[in-house]
């Protein structure tokens, strides 16, 4: 079993299940779940802060700072803030799983200046499946909890299970917005995927169901770091 920190990211198009898979990784391996999209939404909702800090819990955290220009598409990570991010000699085995980052070749190169990734998990899901999933997604804005009317519906329709607060549909889940997001993702992601493939660290998982992909992701990570939950307990 490896004893160093594992640096991993999860990539995939909108609706591919990055958030769902990372939430399972976080619970199964005792990690913090970081989402660049969630931070972005919170920051923009809060008036467009000029600076975001992504950080996990305790002393094993990933901090990536994004400095926006005028458009979200030109975000670039500028530094990994904390010296304890990805320490070279660490006595524990803790991965950093960050869904949706890096999203462009520029971000991938900037990340190279911060650390070398060990593992990239890429989710390949058919376009039609993505559209269906996003159309049925409901979120709890305050926590980022994600539901799907087919896959993981809330106990009571339209209401968050934990807080009882109303669920909303994301603005960018409207069908016309989804099509534009998918196009944008495809163009930006291709060179990123190629880069990690050429480095031999890309692990691609294809399918239409997260529950069928998950055992393979779990098995891959379990071979590198010790889980705290079994595969079924996510």
> Which residues contact ligand G5P by CB under 6 A?
12, 14-20, 35-38, 40, 72, 75, 99-101, 103, 107, 133, 137, 146, 148, 150-152, 181, 209-211
CB closer to Mg ion, 2 vs 179: 179
Residue whose CB is less far from Mg ion, 19 or 68: 19
Q: Which residue is nearest to Mg ion (CB)?
A: 19
Nearest-CB residue for ligand G5P: 37
CA–CA separation, 129 vs 127, rounded Å?
Answer: 5
Residues in the interface with Mg ion (CB under 5 A) total 1
CB of 35 to Mg ion, least distance (A): 6
- Take residue 121 and report the two structure tokens written for it: 């998990």
> Is the Cβ of residue 3 or residue 74 nearer to ligand G5P in the bound state?
74
Does position 19 bind Mg ion by CB under 5 A? yes
Contact 124, 106 (CB under 8 A): no
Tell me how far CA of residue 129 lies from CA of 22, 74, 107, 125, 185, in angstroms.
19, 28, 27, 7, 16
Side by side, which strands form the sheet with 202-206? 95-99, 6-11, 119-124, 202-206
Pairwise CA distance, residues 102 & 77, whole Å: 9
CB of 30 to ligand G5P, least distance (A): 20
Stretches 1-9, 17-25, 132-140, 166-174: which one binds Mg ion (CB under 5 A)? 17-25
Q: Give Rg (Cα) of the chain.
A: 17
At residue 159, what are phi and psi to the nearest 5 degrees?
Answer: -130, 135
150 binds, options ligand G5P, Mg ion, none, Cβ within 5 to 8 A by partner type: ligand G5P
The option from ligand G5P, Mg ion, none interacting with 156 (CB < 5 to 8 A, set by class) reads none
């Amino acid at each position: 079993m490896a004893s160093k920190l594992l640096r991993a990211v999860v990539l995939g198009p909108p609706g591919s299940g990055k958030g769902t898979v990372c939430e399972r990784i976080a619970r199964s391996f005792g990690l913090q779940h970081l989402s660049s999209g969630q931070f972005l939404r919170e920051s923009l909702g809060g008036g467009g802060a000029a600076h975001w800090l992504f950080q996990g819990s305790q002393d094993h955290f990933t901090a990536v700072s994004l400095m926006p220009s005028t458009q979200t598409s030109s975000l670039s990570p500028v530094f990994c803030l904390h010296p304890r991010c990805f320490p070279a000699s660490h006595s524990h085995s803790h991965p950093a799983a960050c869904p949706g980052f890096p999203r462009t070749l520029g971000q991938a190169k900037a990340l190279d200046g911060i650390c070398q990734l060990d593992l990239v998990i890429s989710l390949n899901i058919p376009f039609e499946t993505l559209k269906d999933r996003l159309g049925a997604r409901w979120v709890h804005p305050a926590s980022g909890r994600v539901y799907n009317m087919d896959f993981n519906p809330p106990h009571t329709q339209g209401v968050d299970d934990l807080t009882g607060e109303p669920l909303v549909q994301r603005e960018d889940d409207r069908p016309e917005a989804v099509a534009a997001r998918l196009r944008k993702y495809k163009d930006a992601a291709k060179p990123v995927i190629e880069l990690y493939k050429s480095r031999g660290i890309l692990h691609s998982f294809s399918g239409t169901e997260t529950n069928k992909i998950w055992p393979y992701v779990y098995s891959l990570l379990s071979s590198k770091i010790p889980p705290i939950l079994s595969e079924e307990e996510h």
